[in-house]
């Protein structure tokens, strides 16, 4: 599938499920030598998050705010640790179509709205040896209703 | 601890434990649209690896070549998936001393030799909410015996 290779721009973030965000922030702050760049609640996913930038990517700590959160289920099953990897892509819609045609199992066959004016979609971990992969595309300003 | 923040340069790679490297390469190739940039055996760690570049970082697939490999033990316990995150740092030795002084639990208190002319050290997953973190520093050419 020539052409798809250019769709992948960077690792946007590494999502880490934690039981207690304040305690996790303290731990990562001790490692990285400074506070997180942002702390916020993402209501669509029932999580509180903190982002620590490292180069062009971020470590995203995720604490569930309800038992229905997918992060709460992950913590119950596996304990705290790396939950997902997010790649920044261009042309998410075209990429999802190409992946579907190639037989890659997707959780989302079309993009949905993510945080920070982004469109996102998840690839099923069964397609990638147990890795839950998020694909994320920055929406153009004129298509972003949150701006 | 001001000053340590600048020690972290980038996410060097995300290590993914897999049962079968050939099959895993096929899966990630289907996703990313191209072959891995390198495939090699790292005898010190009893693993075969494949690297796929994404922006400034890499997805590193790891298949154990012996039952003694830490990757084999991880697969038995947790199944395939993200095994570790590696951050590229400057002044690894100084950083390890600072982390030790700050009470961060380390697997390696001094750097050891890694692959590709690098010095590496691991932080204990208990210090970072279950995340196994590798710290990696490029050795100066004149100190790298493999060159």
Which of B55, B59, B131 faces A16 most closely, judged by CB atoms?
Answer: B131
CB pair distance less than 8 Å for B8 and A54: yes
Does the residue B3 lie in any domain? Answer: no
CATH number of the domain where residue B20 is located:
3.10.180.10
- Rounded to a whole number of angstroms, the distance from the CA of A107 to the nearest CA of chain B is 14
The answer to whether residue B59 is domain-embedded is: yes
- To the nearest whole Å, the CA of A46 is away from the closest chain B CA by 20
Q: Do A57 and B55 touch (CB under 8 A)?
A: yes
Instruction: Output b/e per residue, A67-79; b: 16+ Cβ within 10 A.
Output: eebbbbebbeeee
Whole-angstrom distance, CA of residue B140 vs CA of residue B49: 24
Question: Is A109 within the bounds of a domain?
Answer: yes
pLDDT tens, N- to C-terminus, chain A (147 residues): 434 667 999 999 999 999 999 999 999 999 999 999 999 998 888 999 999 999 999 999 999 999 999 999 999 999 999 999 999 999 999 999 999 999 999 999 999 988 788 999 999 999 999 999 999 999 876 555 554
B134 and B84 Cβ atoms separated by less than 8 Å: yes
Is A59 contained in some domain? yes
In a domain, B145, yes or no: no
Using a CB–CB cutoff of 8 Å, tell me whether A8 touches chain B.
yes
Whole-angstrom distance, CA of residue B39 vs CA of residue B146: 18
CB B82 within 8 A of CB B18: no
**Cα distance between residue B2 and residue B46, in whole Å:** 38
Residue A88 lies in a domain: yes
| Residue B87 forms part of a structural domain | yes
**Which residue among A11, A16, A125 sits closest to B55, beta carbon to beta carbon?**
A11
Interchain contact A87–B (C-beta under 8 A): yes
| Residues from chain B contacting residue A128 (CB–CB below 8 Å) | 27-28, 31
Domain that holds residue A85: 8-138
Determine the Cα–Cα distance for residues A125 and A51; give it in Å rounded to an integer: 23
Residue A144 lies in a domain: no
How many whole angstroms separate alpha carbon B135 and alpha carbon B125?
13
A52 contacts A36 by C-beta, under 8 angstroms: yes
Q: Find the length of chain A.
A: 147
Would you say A115 and A60 are in contact if contact means Cβ atoms under 8 Å apart? no
Q: How many domains does chain A have?
A: 1
What global pTM score does this model have?
0.93
Q: Is the ipTM of this complex over 0.90?
A: yes
């Amino acid at each position: 599938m020539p052409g798809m290779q250019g769709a992948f721009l960077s690792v946007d973030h590494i999502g880490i499920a934690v039981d207690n965000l304040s305690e996790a922030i303290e731990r990562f702050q001790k490692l990285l030598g400074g506070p997180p760049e942002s702390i916020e609640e993402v209501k669509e996913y029932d999580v509180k998050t903190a982002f620590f930038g490292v180069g062009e990517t971020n470590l995203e700590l995720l604490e569930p705010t309800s038992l229905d959160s997918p992060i709460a289920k992950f913590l119950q099953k596996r304990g705290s640790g790396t939950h997902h990897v997010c790649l920044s892509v261009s042309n998410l819609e075209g990429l999802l179509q190409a992946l579907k045609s190639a037989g890659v199992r997707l959780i989302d066959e079309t993009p949905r709205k993510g945080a920070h004016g982004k469109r996102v979609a998840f690839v099923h971990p069964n397609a990638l040896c147990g890795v839950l992969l998020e694909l994320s595309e920055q929406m153009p300003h004129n298509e972003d209703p949150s701006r």
